[in-house]
Amino acid sequence: MKRIKNLIAFDCGNSSYRLVLGRYDGETIKMEVIAQESNEMVKIKDYYYWDILKIYQFLINNLKKVVQKVDQIDSIGICTWGVDFALFDRQGNMLNNPLSYRNEIGEIYLEKLSKEVQEDLFFKTGILSNRINSVYMISAIKELMPEIYSATDKILMMPDILNYLLTGVMMNEPSELSTSQLFNAIHKAIDIEVCKQFNISSDLFSEIGEHGNKVGNLLSSIKEQLKIDYDIPVICVPSHDTASAVAAIPAVEDEFLFISSGTWALIGAEIAQPIVDKEVMANSFTNEVGAYNKITLLKNSAGMFILERIKEEYDFATNKISTWKDIIDLSLGIERLDLMNVNDRRFFNPPNMAEEIMNYLYETGQYQGRFKWELIIKTILESMACNYAITINNLEKVIGRKFDTVYVVGGGSQNQVINQLTANRTGKKIIIGSKESTCLGNLGTQISYFDYSINLKRIRTVINNSTIRKEYIQEWDDKKILEKYSRLLK
């Protein structure tokens, strides 16, 4: 009988981070959440930062807990969101806490580029020019923080930072690096020409990792903290949380549609090769690198962030600690249907989300009554489903084929109201995967380190064995609602 392998997945998102123990018996993975803690930006003067050292300490503290639970930890994998990074000097010292993509300084730099330059960047790399791409934040740091930038020897993305702190090895993981727009999704390498265009040295990047391979072993100083005498390999997993979440989709098809629903909603398709043409660019799709060099052709869209902000503001205004069920139930008694363009930049990070939505409804002539929390919540739910449906329709056009199923994974997949609305708006079967899909994809990739014969299809079989699926089908046709939403986009 094979010994159960004890694998650690660390999933660090915008709103929370968690450490998960996965027990792999050769056929299934059983997961246990060891600890979870909220994550939030820290504002210092004019900028928002991430507290990477607090995140790291959480990871170490909870590895200590796992050491007490199991006979041996067999491996560790790290996932985070995309685009954010930190700078390191020649001695390997971190020069700054990572700036958050929600700062506007990157967007300001992007706006300096002409439409023609932005299009040229897309056709070179396969990556759409987006205000949150790392290249624009790097450019802003060069201009606004020249002393920090001049001391920079290496750039590490968020998961690469944690891998480095654990192992002492600097490596850039490809799915994460593809969110920078300095990595070429077509050739799977740093784009030297684009680096030169932005006057960013390609030497700032390290060796590109390969999924399923080892980054390095845990540092001896950390082993001492954990009070262990054996090595623990840290594995190169698809470190961009979207890539790991898509790796965990229990699909049998070679190509499929998905929604990875979290703080952001990543609406896309897993395909073999990038699609780089004018129609892809016109519809705001981008070719990110996925697990094992698959391509996730996707649109980075507004996700649960808007609803998360509303929950925070509602709890503060009512002096309550509400559950997600409480929030969703508020919307059920509202008969009227108002819509908002969830991707309008005014909803990116306003001081007060609820007021911003109400003002939008007033300005678009949809509603003129008093402030209502329940109206705001229903508007968000209805609008998110419209956005999903229209994006999926556009995605099918650029790929050149129809699909009958959409797989939904991530924390937002537990929102039953949005799931049913999405089935209604798309007319497709909606299959719900795991809310812990990022951790499952992370753990699944670690399995391949121990057996190189295990490929992505086999990983998905293991994940399918490990999860319970739920399906939604269309209950009514909502084409008129989609037409109303489309008018708001013009």
- pLDDT tens digits, one per residue of 454-470: 999 999 999 999 988 89
Report the percentage of the chain scoring pLDDT > 90: 91
In this structure, what DSSP letter does residue 217 have? Answer: E
CATH number at residue 138: 3.30.420.40
Residue 64 CB neighbours (<10 A)? 12
Query: Residue 270 above 90 pLDDT?
Result: yes
List, for residues 341-350, the tens digit of each pLDDT value: 999 999 988 9
352 shares a domain with 419: yes
Q: What is the pLDDT of residue 1?
A: 46
230 shares a domain with 337: no
Q: Mean of the pLDDT values across residues 164-168?
A: 98
257 shares a domain with 219: no
Q: Which residues contact 148 (CB under 8 A, 6 or more apart)?
A: 87, 95, 96, 141
| Alpha carbons 59 and 51: distance in angstroms, whole number | 13
Domain that holds residue 381: 249-433+451-490
pLDDT band at 435 (very low <50, low <70, confident <90, very high): confident
Q: Mean of the pLDDT values across residues 431-442?
A: 93
276 shares a domain with 214: no
101 shares a domain with 151: yes
320 shares a domain with 203: no
255 shares a domain with 229: no
pLDDT band at 263 (very low <50, low <70, confident <90, very high): confident
Q: Mean of the pLDDT values across residues 318-324?
A: 94
End residue of a domain, out of 204, 235, 266 = 235
| Alpha carbons 67 and 218: distance in angstroms, whole number | 14
Token output for 307: 């609803």
pLDDT band at 479 (very low <50, low <70, confident <90, very high): confident
Residue 99, burial from CB neighbour count under 10 angstroms (0-12, 13-18, 19+): buried
Q: Mean of the pLDDT values across residues 209-232?
A: 98
Q: Mean of the pLDDT values across residues 360-389?
A: 96
335 shares a domain with 208: no
Q: Look at the chain and report how many structural domains it folds into.
A: 2
Compute the mean pLDDT over every residue in the chain, rounded to the nearest whole number: 95
| Alpha carbons 98 and 165: distance in angstroms, whole number | 14
pLDDT band at 135 (very low <50, low <70, confident <90, very high): very high
In this structure, what DSSP letter does residue 181 have? Answer: T
